[in-house]
A = this chain, B = another copy of it.
C-alpha cells in the first residue's frame, strides 16, 4: 500500500490523478476527458457539469473517467492547475526585468490588461476562479498561485525600495494581487462599461500604492 502512485482527494486536500496514465493510449484519453470537461464547463458551468456527460463526450466509460480522476473536483482542479501554471510563467516573465518605477508601471499595467482580457474571454477560467471560494482544494491552489505571483511583485519592490520593511512589501504585494483578482471578478459580473471603469480604478489604486512609497 505504500509506494503506490495513488493519491485520492480527501476532505479539502488536493486531488491529483488516481493513477498516472503511463501508456500513450491512456494519456490521449485523459486529454479527451479534460477537453470534454472544459467544453462542458464553458457551456454550462462546472456546477452543472455531469460526470456522465464528460465521459460520454470524451468517448469513454464512466469507469475510465474515475480511473484517472478520484472525483469530480479533481477534473476541475487539473484544469485550474494548467491555467495557473501558464499564467505564472507569463507573470514571471513580465516582472523579471523590471528595474525602475516606470518599468513597473508599464509591466503592471500590461499584466492587469492581460488578466482582464483573459477573464473576459475564458469562460472556463472564469468559472473555476468563481468556484474558488467554495472549494477548499481550489482555494488552496489559488492562494498558492497568488502567493507565488505576489513574490515576483515583491522581488521588484525590494529592488525599487531596498530600505523598506521586506515583510510590509510582501503583505502589500499579496494584498494587491488578491484585490486584483477580486476586482476582475467584480468587473466581469457587471456590464462591460462599468467593468472597464472598475479595472481602471483598481489599476490606478494599485499603482499609487506600488510606486508612491
Contacts and interface: CB of A to CB of B under 8 A. Distances in A.
Classify the secondary structure of A's interface with B: helix
Interface string A185-200: 1100110001001100
Nearest to A127: B134
Contact of A174 (B130, B179, B198): B198
A202 B175 contact: yes
A148 to B, nearest CB: 15
Contact of A183 (B131, B178, B202): B178
A189 B143 contact: yes
A208 interface: yes
A100 to B, nearest CB: 22
A175 B205 contact: yes
A67 interface: no
B171 A194 contact: yes
Contacts of A139: 189
Interface string A131-143: 1111000010001
Interface of A: 47, 130-134, 139, 143, 167-168, 171-172, 174-175, 178-179, 181-183, 185-186, 189-190, 194, 197-198, 201-202, 205, 208-209
